[in-house]
Amino acid sequence: MNEYDEKWEEQINALLDGELSAADADLLKAEATDDRDLARAIIEAYKLQKAMDEIRVERAPDSLRKRLRAIPRQQRPAPMFRILQPRWVMALAAIPLVLVSVSLMQPATPSAQEIAKARQDLAIAFAYLDKAGQITGREIESTVGNTMSDAIAGSVIRNIKSQNETSKEKEA
């Protein structure tokens, strides 16, 4: 990215954040009427901001949150892994999809190179989502498997103890 692009990017970000003065905003818009790339960049920034505003956060059911809080501390993952929890991985994976979808919605006909790049980006995003899904699946299998094995092992041990006590009482 060259200095020219960085200058426009900073001004576009300031425009979206409402930090650009009215005079500077008018100047930027006037420049965009003569510069097609600048106009496209402003439109893409507005579309991206709108798309990001429309993403909503899904709340986990209370029963699941209660069970997750009941997991003992020693079985919880290391602090670095908490950052990469499945919900965060999925949320972060949505960002490239939004960017790719916004770039694919361009009104101008894209070149073959742009189409190839978009396909590659989309393939990477889907591979990332697939990997995130696999990690989430393993996490769920591990949690459910450990819970089930603890429940089954606990009842088997109680039955064995009960039978041992009963047999000792009969012998006495």
Instruction: Collect all residues with Cβ–Cβ distance below 8 Å to 43 and sequence separation of at least 6.
Output: none
Q: Which residue has the higher pLDDT, 160 or 27?
A: 27
Residue 1 pLDDT greater than 50, yes or no: no
Q: What is the mean pLDDT of the chain?
A: 76
Tell me which residue of 98, 56, 35, 108 sits closest to 12, measured CA to CA: 35
The pTM of this model reads 0.33
At 110 the three-state DSSP class reads coil
- Across the range 88-115, mean pLDDT stands at 70
Residue 154 pLDDT greater than 70, yes or no: no
Residue 33 pLDDT greater than 70, yes or no: yes
- Across the range 37-46, mean pLDDT stands at 88
